[in-house]
Amino acid sequence: MSLPIDHFVENLRDARMAKGLSQRDLSKLAGVPQSHISKIESNQVDLRLTSLLALAHALDLEVALVPRKAIPAVKLISRQMTSPESEQAFAEAKPAYTLDEDD
């Protein structure tokens, strides 16, 4: 049986690997001991909120509470935002306006 926290653990591990980070690298970025990251990823310890927030921040992720009814929309937007096509489009996009120091 999969526990609700397993989803978070899988996403953290996938994000770490997608960034090409070792557990040791992530440990340095997040301030969480590498041994603890290993235990989290292998479900040997419960993931504490403080560790989740530190790891998410280091992986450029955001932890948010979303109303259940909004989850399908959030998932759709998330998939669209992380597709290779959209990443390139964002990189190539120019801002619609800029603020000068005089503004």
Output 20 or 88, whichever has higher pLDDT.
20
For residue 40, pLDDT over 50 is answered with yes
pLDDT, the chain, mean: 84
Please state, in angstroms and rounded to a whole number, the distance separating the CA atoms of residues 74 and 30: 26
**pLDDT band at 68, cuts 50/70/90?**
very high
Q: What is the topology classification, in CATH, of domain 1-62? A: 434 Repressor (Amino-terminal Domain) (1.10.260)
User: Shortest CA distance to 56 belongs to which of 26, 18, 25, 22?
Assistant: 26
Please state, in angstroms and rounded to a whole number, the distance separating the CA atoms of residues 23 and 1: 26
Output 100 or 49, whichever has higher pLDDT.
49
For residue 67, pLDDT over 90 is answered with yes
Domain ranges of the chain: 1-62, 64-93
Please state, in angstroms and rounded to a whole number, the distance separating the CA atoms of residues 35 and 14: 18
Q: Is 43 within 8 Å of 6 (Cβ atoms)?
A: yes
Share above pLDDT 90 across residues of the chain, in percent, rounded to a whole number: 54
Please state, in angstroms and rounded to a whole number, the distance separating the CA atoms of residues 39 and 86: 34
Predicted TM-score (pTM) of this structure = 0.71
